[in-house]
């Protein structure tokens, strides 16, 4: 029985030794091996062998891309505006020994480094630039931390700005400013509309006055031409009558006398006529009656 127990113990010890000497590393991980407390080697994915009792797996490092969330923080811009910003960083560990032995906690260190660099970059920008320049902030942020994390065997794939917005009080101030700006623009637009309407009305009145003046001028020209034509016709008629009469005035006297008599008849035939008509040549008429 004691021999059997010893055999069982030896067999168990052999099985444990074999188990401790064989290591299977899954894909996406690398194991850091220490021998007697000192770094010895890095186990790659697959089947690996180590010396039992001397070699130990100190760290199991994830070699896939790691998404590292950067918490929100308040940042003061160059023009003393307070904004809230957060980000997300994608990193990859390419040298596990440096990552585990070069820094106590590389995840916390990178998170703090990104936050500090983000505050520094935004602090050099004005509010409007910070809100509209995400690509520029991302590029500068990646450049500022890449050299630092490279010493830890880590590569920064990219850093994305998830959200960047003014604080609550700053948003209220910006909304008030935007409302004031909209009111100012509306007032300017209304004033410009009234100005344009006044200009159009003045131009319309000016054109109407010009057209009216041109019409009056044209009418005056037509009246003057008509009067000129009438005067020419009258002059032509008088000239013809003068030529026709010549030295003999009796026909003309007869015609004038006939028209005079007709006019007297019309005036005397009126019901309300109170006029006393005398011959135009009273003295001549009296002499005619006296036979002189």
d(CA 129, CA 48): 54
Q: What local confidence, expressed as pLDDT, does residue 187 receive?
A: 85
pLDDT at 271: 61
Give the pLDDT score at 253: 61
> 93 and 63 in contact (C-beta within 8 Å)?
yes
- Above 90 in pLDDT, residue 37? no
Pairing of strands 29-35, 22-25: unpaired
Half-sphere exposure of 176 (CA within 13 A, CB side): 6
Closest of 82, 257, 90, 247 to residue 158, by C-alpha: 90
pTM of the entire structure? 0.57
- Dihedral over alpha carbons 228, 230, 235, 238 (to 10 degrees): -170
The conformation of residue 117, written as its DSSP 8-state character, comes to H
Query: Would you say residue 265 has pLDDT above 80?
Result: no
Torsion of CA 190, 196, 198, 202, to 10 degrees: 180
pLDDT at 44: 93
Q: What percent of the chain has pLDDT over 90?
A: 26
> Which of 85, 111, 89, 81 shows the shortest CA–CA distance to 163?
85
Helix (H, G, I), strand (E, B) or coil at 104: coil
Give the tens place of pLDDT for each residue, 104-160: 899 999 999 999 999 999 989 888 888 888 889 999 999 889 888 999 999 999 899
Higher pLDDT, 199 or 266: 199
Residue 109 CA from chain centroid, whole number: 42
Residue 260: what pLDDT? 62
């Amino acid at each position: 029985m004691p021999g059997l127990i010893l055999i069982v113990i030896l067999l168990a010890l052999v099985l444990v030794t074999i188990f401790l000497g064989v290591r299977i590393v899954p894909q996406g991980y690398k194991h850091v091996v220490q021998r007697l407390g000192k770094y010895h080697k890095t186990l790659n994915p697959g089947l690996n062998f180590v010396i039992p009792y001397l070699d130990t797996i100190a760290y199991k490092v994830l070699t896939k891309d790691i998404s590292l969330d950067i918490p929100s923080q308040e940042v003061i811009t160059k023009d003393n505006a307070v904004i809230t910003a957060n980000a997300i960083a994608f990193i990859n560990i390419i040298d596990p020994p440096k990552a585990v032995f070069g820094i106590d906690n590389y995840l916390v260190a990178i998170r703090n480094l990104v936050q500090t660099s983000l505050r520094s970059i935004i602090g050099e920008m004005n509010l409007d630039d910070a809100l509209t320049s995400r690509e520029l902030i991302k590029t500068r942020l990646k450049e500022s931390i890449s050299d630092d994390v490279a010493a830890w065997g880590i590569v920064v794939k990219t850093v994305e700005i998830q959200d960047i917005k003014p604080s609550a009080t700053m948003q209220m101030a910006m909304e008030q400013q935007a409302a004031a700006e909209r009111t100012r623009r509306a007032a300017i637009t209304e004033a410009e509309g009234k100005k344009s309407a006044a200009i159009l009305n003045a131009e319309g009145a000016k054109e109407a006055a010009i057209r009216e003046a041109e019409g009056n001028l044209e009418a005056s020209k037509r009246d003057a031409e008509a009067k000129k034509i009438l005067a020419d016709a009258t002059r032509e008629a008088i000239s013809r009558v003068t030529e026709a009469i010549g030295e003999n005035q009796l026909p003309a006297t007869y015609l004038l006398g006939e028209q005079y008599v007709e006019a007297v008849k019309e005036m005397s035939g009126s019901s309300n006529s109170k006029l006393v008509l005398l011959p135009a040549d009273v003295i001549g008429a009296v002499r005619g009656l006296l036979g002189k």
